[in-house]
Amino acid sequence: MGEVVSVEKFKALSPSEFFYRNKEIAGFSNPARALYQTVRELVENALDATDTHYILPDVKVVIRSEGVGGSTGVVADESESYEGVLYSVQVEDNGIGLPPQHVPRAFGQLLYSSKYVLRQSRGMFGLGAKMAILYGQITTGRPAEVITSQILSKKIYYFKVSIDIASNSPIIHEYSILAKNSDWHGTTVRVYLIGDWQRSKQKIHDYVRRTAIIAPYANIYFEDPEGNILMFKRSTEEMPVPPREVKPHPYGVDVELLKRMLSDTTAETLKDFLVNEFQNVGELTALKIIEGAGLKPDLKPSELKLNEINELIKSIKATKIKAPSGRHLSFLGEKLIELGLRETLKPEFAAATTRSASVYGGHAFVVEAGIAYGGKILQSDKPILLRYANKIPLLYDESADVIYDIVDPKKFDWSRYGVPSQSPLAVLVHVCSTKVPYKGVGKEAIADVPEVEREVRIAVREVARKLKAYLSRKAKEFEEVERAVTIAKYIPDVSHSLFKLSDGGVKREVLEEKLLQLLNRRLSMFKIKSLKDVVIEVS
């Protein structure tokens, strides 16, 4: 018998088909997670369309149950059946709006985005809303609906769009143009999908609340399928400085990126290329890099050979170049973090810190931390951890995050800062960068990069020290109040004795009032209200 030789079949997958087959890596692993992820991706887009352009955000999120539904998605040799409750998720913003010619590809082509520049943004992979649309399409068969209008435009554009999975291209089902008789501008997106509200509602409610904490300058309206409405009104009109696009830092490039930059540049010489295309590279630094690589300054960039590019990379790494400044990043600042914590969590104490910019792998990043204690925060044996990256709340994969390792009571000794084991405590950590080191495409956990870990640990310690100072002052105030209450018990006896010593020259009521004034003056040194109010409060 002849030997049977099997023949392997080869084929290419489009990005849409790849993510159709691997929905889990983008966070769409099941109906509950998919519903949460859809809300998150659409809200991220809405906030990027507003605060990135210095517009005070008005974001409206509505989830509605559309009844029982399902569909069968068929791609290539695979088929899956989806049954469950049909939901629509609609998110409206007052952002800059989208040019109509870009709408089909912006919502119907994976890995097509305005975010592929070196600038801090909530999204970074060009998936976002498109993954939600793709998931909705394969579970319901229904296209997404997009309404958009740009600032100063006199028209509103309406699209029904889905994704051709095989070719990763948009399918336009419906398109219309309407006259605009108001000053509205922004974008509204509605996605239909099979979801599980009961299993996802806690996460979605938490996401909306945590978004309100990190964006106290936003109006956020949220309506869930059960008719519950959450409204977070902006408590300030102060906004973080919008992020700016920045040139790459030399330490952040590799061979492939450098090859691409060399072929795309308009610079005539290698020296001009280094000066014009990178941040923090002047003429002297450029000449040092070129000399270290054994090259000539007047070489034409596009003519460099592979071995010369490798030598250039080696020389860049060996040359001392000023680190990125971080001025292009959009961090919150201590005032906004503290305000967000106070307005949403209603604590008795809140504090925040913003660290100076640091660098990992040629990318600048800033770490901020906030702490809230007491008030309406529930007591627990570990702090409520509020994790953020580029202003995005991170709710899943908490134990896999480097921030969790630092704040965890098993590794962070909170008792050193006067915090008991059972405490009403919340800790906020925000990492912002042009390249946040996420552990996966789902963007739910920050990797344990040593530089980031160090900055997070320092920031948490800084706010913990502020809490320690507050708790220490509060303990001293409590001791003083106890002492004052004890002394106050003897005021009638002391005033009676003084009355007798003065042979009735001074009335007892006057003596009592004088003694109370002295006691209140002592209390005011500790910024404590009057003894009368304290006694009423204690009782």
Whether the pLDDT of residue 234 is over 90: the answer is: yes
Q: For residues 21 and 472, which has the higher predicted lDDT (pLDDT)?
A: 472
Residue 160 exposure: Cα atoms within 13 Å on the Cβ side: 8
The CATH number of the structural domain formed by 334-467 is: 3.30.230.10
Range list for CATH 3.30.230.10 in the chain: 334-467
Would you place residue 8 in the very low, low, confident or very high pLDDT band (cuts 50, 70, 90)? low
Whether the pLDDT of residue 64 is over 70: the answer is: yes
User: What is the fold of 250-318?
Assistant: Helicase, Ruva Protein; domain 3 (1.10.8)
Q: Best-predicted range by mean pLDDT among 72-81, 230-239, 407-416, 481-490?
A: 230-239
Q: Closest Cα partner for 92 from 5, 221, 178? A: 221
What tens digit of pLDDT does each residue of 289-320 get?
Answer: 999 989 998 989 888 899 999 999 999 989 99
Structure confidence at residue 53 (pLDDT): 87
Whether the pLDDT of residue 68 is over 80: the answer is: no
Whether the pLDDT of residue 82 is over 60: the answer is: no
Of all residues in the chain, what percent carry a pLDDT higher than 90? 47
Contacts 24+ apart (CB under 8 A), 159-162: 159/103, 159/104, 159/107, 161/103, 161/104, 161/107, 161/108, 161/133, 162/108, 162/133, 162/137
Range list for CATH 3.30.565.10 in the chain: 15-232
Structure confidence at residue 360 (pLDDT): 85
Would you place residue 387 in the very low, low, confident or very high pLDDT band (cuts 50, 70, 90)? very high
What tens digit of pLDDT does each residue of 168-204 get?
Answer: 899 999 999 999 999 999 999 999 999 999 999 999 9
Point out the least confidently predicted range of 1-5, 228-232, 417-421.
1-5
Whether the pLDDT of residue 205 is over 90: the answer is: yes
Residues β-bridged to residue 158: 147, 176
User: What is the fold of 15-232?
Assistant: Heat Shock Protein 90 (3.30.565)
| Contact of 463 with 370, CB cutoff 8 Å | yes
- SS3 string, 132-173, reads HHHHHHHHHCCCEEEEEECCCCCEEEEEEEEEECCCCEEEEE
pTM of the model: 0.79
What tens digit of pLDDT does each residue of 438-492 get?
Answer: 887 667 899 989 999 999 999 999 999 999 999 988 777 666 666 666 666 666 7
Name residues whose C-beta falls within 8 Å of residue 321's C-beta, 6 or more positions apart in sequence.
249, 250, 251, 280, 281, 285
Q: For residues 420 and 122, which has the higher predicted lDDT (pLDDT)?
A: 420
